[in-house]
Structure 1
């Protein structure tokens, strides 16, 4: 999948709210259900375009678990279109992004200010990343689990 895989609006939302997670939280709180679902699907799709989580990523001779690989890919997406595009295009190996994620390599020019992790609604604690906050907002607003809802949308 190419660098334009995720919609422009998705990347614009991430860039316009960074580095304040509470700004992303507020934006999500103002959107209709369908936009929250589309945001979550775009985030998930962008992460999945980086690697097959089940295969893991090999970093310095160690193959990461499926969950760790997924966490890494979600982190890459959260860094914005620049880093994501570099990885998805193959210009930056995922293993090198993993070293950045672990603090073992300097953050490249495509990594911008880290998200601050502050949320306004105490009910959103535990969802303190740009990929997870949409799940907390969805649960608060619609009293439903977004993962289950998306499974129905995708037909899983």
Structure 2
């Protein structure tokens, strides 16, 4: 979204003025013939912290934490390939639909439209096992041709045509 892009741009412009921060670090790692790529938002060389920005709905973290944890631990794994350690992982979450009126009505509602969430830090062997498993899963799914894509619909199409006047 335009709002999300603006948020990222503000961080990228601000963080380099603070000691130790690198932003927008891109990676490419070949694993079992597949190039695995990613771009992390920010890494602090001094505190060895990985921080990503997320813009989501107020309920986003309740169902996205697992996805965030996988993504950020993949970035941690990438950094380890460059002999960089990660001691903590955070996501800075900006709630695009936060409302003061809702905060006043719901005690579980965030106090402000921003939250820092610390994520579970995985061992790199767990992350690599997950990556290799996902690659194996994707490679085992053979590509389908045009006939395969439409085969389950052909019976439906035939029966639909036969009932039309």
TM-score by length of 2: 0.24
Q: Which has the higher helix share?
A: 1
Instruction: Give the structure, 1 or 2, with the largest relative contact order (CA under 8 Å, sep 6 or more).
Output: 1
Q: Determine which structure has more spread, i.e. the larger CA radius of gyration.
A: 2
